[in-house]
């Protein structure tokens, strides 16, 4: 075996939970069909005399082997994490890996806000009866505790916060941990960010979250890179990938999905939510340099693409001026919605599954693209053998990340 990535890192397992499907088969099927779940959100704690649009998970299925005790006390974020990690763990056949040689990085901070709102409501006026487990569960590290207990992980586990870049930031930190020899296998996860009506209201007030324009047409509200976009539309999701060296995968006869060729992380020096053209260009340039690739080698881009009026425009400008307008481009969020902390990891899973199928999923509601010079995948799947892909994620506070993923070559 040999990796086409210069760092000899590969991805050997994936797991995903989303509003359009749980598990990789259901997920990729929905992507290829452009099947969505956008509607007025109904989960308790999401509305307060409001009618925010989003995509919610209808139900979670838990495989045999997951602790019923842990599941009972876990939040929605915790349950989605356990289910996604179980799929990735099984997919990569990790049972034989020494527990102290496995690490876990979870992308996301403040991911259980709706759960907390519901606790406040439930125990209002009866504080002495508050369940003691709240002392654990309000912290993001509780997700680490759930996962390390369930899967016996004894290397390390921690969370990293990068706003909407958190999932991809987790992948970068996991790759660095394996490359440096801290562990043999590192699991990277983008946590389900369970927002409440408080966050919905604030994000709407910021101008980041839509949709006033399509308030009575939820299925048309999520439209990244379309001229009629008016903000992102939220979507519940959780994504997990397993990263290790190719030599480690070979010892277990694990078949890699792809090679992690290179990555970059950079800051704008800006607290605010507005994107930075210069920061995005730097991240793209550094990721290509780290991977040893020229821009012309990239034949597919999975962008951040939220549907933000300013964000989408800035991102297309950065891609164009970085020499990437020749590459195929679609918008995973147009189908899944914006998973916030989960988005980067979920979209890497989407890239890997498209690479595996040699097909690119369509982009919903891309009726009038902002720039016709790009190679858009619009209303139907396109057959394409991905050689080298670029995934982008950006977050509030000036966080820019980019990851290059290359087809794995087996010899």
- Return the CATH class of domain 262-407: alpha beta
- Return the CATH class of domain 9-251: alpha beta
> pLDDT value at position 177?
98
Examine domains 9-251 and 262-407 and report if their fold is the same. Answer: yes
Contact 236, 339 (CB under 8 A): yes
> pLDDT value at position 7?
82
- Quick one: average pLDDT of 292-308? 98
- pLDDT tens-digit series, residues 58-90: 999 999 999 999 999 999 999 999 999 999 999
Residue 101 has pLDDT above 70, yes or no: yes
pLDDT band at 2 (very low <50, low <70, confident <90, very high): very low
Determine how many CB atoms are found less than 10 A away from the CB of residue 32.
Answer: 18
Contact 213, 223 (CB under 8 A): no
> pLDDT value at position 267?
96
- The whole-chain average pLDDT of the chain stands at 96
> pLDDT value at position 1?
39
pLDDT band at 133 (very low <50, low <70, confident <90, very high): confident
| Burial grade of 129 (CB within 10 A; 0-12, 13-18, 19 or more) | exposed
Q: For residue 231, give the DSSP letter.
A: S
Can you tell me the distance from the alpha carbon of 402 to that of 281, in angstroms, rounded to the nearest whole number? 10
Contact 355, 257 (CB under 8 A): yes
Contact 183, 156 (CB under 8 A): yes
Handedness of CA 76, 78, 81, 86 (dihedral sign): negative
Can you tell me the distance from the alpha carbon of 75 to that of 256, in angstroms, rounded to the nearest whole number? 32
pLDDT band at 411 (very low <50, low <70, confident <90, very high): low
Q: What are phi and psi of 360, to 5 degrees?
A: -110, 135
- pLDDT tens-digit series, residues 361-402: 999 999 999 999 999 999 999 999 999 999 999 999 999 999
Pick from 145, 242, 119, 140: which is nearest to 191 by CA?
140
Residue 3 has pLDDT above 60, yes or no: no
Position with higher pLDDT, 117 vs 5: 117
- pLDDT tens-digit series, residues 203-232: 999 999 999 999 999 999 999 999 999 999
- Quick one: average pLDDT of 235-257? 96
Q: What b/e string do you get for 239-273 counting C-beta neighbours within 10 Å, with b at 16 or more?
A: bbbbbbbbebbbebebebbbbbbbbbbbebeeeeb
Give the 3-state secondary structure of 276-319.
CHHHHHHHHHHHHHHHCCCHHHCCEEECCCCCCHHHHHHHHHHH
Residue 240 has pLDDT above 60, yes or no: yes
What single string gives the DSSP state of each residue in 175-225?
A: HHHHHTTS-SEEEEEE------HHHHHHHHHHT-B--STTTT-HHHH--TT
> pLDDT value at position 410?
73
Can you tell me the distance from the alpha carbon of 265 to that of 161, in angstroms, rounded to the nearest whole number? 13
Residue 314 has pLDDT above 50, yes or no: yes
- Residue 389 corresponds to which tokens in the numbers above? 């892909």
Q: Where are the domains of the chain?
A: 9-251, 262-407
Residue 6 has pLDDT above 90, yes or no: no
Q: What percent of the chain has pLDDT over 90?
A: 95
At residue 323's C-alpha, the angle toward residues 271 and 400, to 5°, is 20
Question: Look-up: residue for tokens 């990068």?
Answer: 162
The answer to which of 129-138, 150-159, 238-247, 251-260 has the lowest mean pLDDT is 129-138
């Amino acid at each position: 075996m040999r990796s086409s990535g210069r760092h000899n890192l590969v991805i050997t397992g994936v797991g995903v939970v989303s509003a359009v499907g749980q598990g990789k088969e259901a997920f990729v099927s929905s992507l290829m069909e452009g099947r969505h779940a956008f509607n007025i959100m109904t989960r308790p704690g999401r509305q307060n005399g409001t009618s925010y649009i989003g995509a919610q998970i209808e139900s979670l299925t838990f495989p045999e082997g997951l602790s019923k005790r842990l599941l009972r006390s876990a939040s929605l974020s915790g349950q989605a994490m356990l289910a996604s990690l179980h799929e990735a763990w099984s997919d990569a056949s990790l049972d034989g890996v020494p527990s102290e040689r496995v690490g876990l990085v979870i992308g996301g901070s403040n991911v259980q806000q709706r759960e907390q709102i519901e606790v406040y409501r439930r125990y209002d006026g009866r504080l002495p009866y508050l369940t003691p487990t709240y002392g654990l569960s309000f912290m993001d590290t509780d997700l680490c505790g759930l996962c390390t207990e369930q899967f016996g992980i004894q290397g390390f586990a921690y969370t990293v916060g990068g706003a909407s870049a958190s999932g991809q930031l987790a992948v970068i930190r996991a790759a660095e941990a394996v490359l440096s020899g801290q562990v043999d296998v590192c699991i990277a996860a983008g946590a389900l960010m369970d927002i409440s009506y408080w966050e919905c209201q604030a994000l709407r007030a910021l101008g980041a979250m839509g949709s006033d324009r399509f308030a009575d047409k939820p299925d048309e509200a999520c439209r990244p890179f379309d001229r009629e976009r008016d903000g992102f539309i939220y979507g519940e999701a959780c994504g997990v990938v397993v990263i290790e060296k190719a030599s480690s995968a070979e010892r277990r006869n694990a078949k890699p999905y792809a090679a992690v060729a290179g990555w970059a992380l950079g800051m704008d020096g800006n607290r605010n939510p507005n994107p930075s053209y210069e920061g995005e260009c730097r991240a793209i340039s550094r990721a290509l340099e780290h991977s040893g690739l020229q821009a012309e080698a990239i034949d597919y881009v999975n962008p951040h693409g939220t549907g933000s009026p300013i964000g989408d425009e800035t991102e297309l400008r950065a891609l164009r001026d970085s020499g990437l307008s020749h590459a195929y481009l679609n918008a995973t969020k147009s189908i899944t919605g914006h998973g916030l902390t989960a988005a980067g990891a979920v979209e890497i899973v989407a890239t890997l599954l498209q690479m595996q199928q040699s097909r690119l999923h369509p982009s919903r509601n891309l009726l009038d693209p902002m720039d016709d010079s790009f190679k858009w995948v619009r209303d139907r799947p396109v057959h394409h053998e991905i050689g080298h892909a670029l995934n982008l994620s950006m977050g509030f506070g000036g966080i820019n990340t980019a990851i290059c993923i290359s087809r794995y070559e087996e010899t």
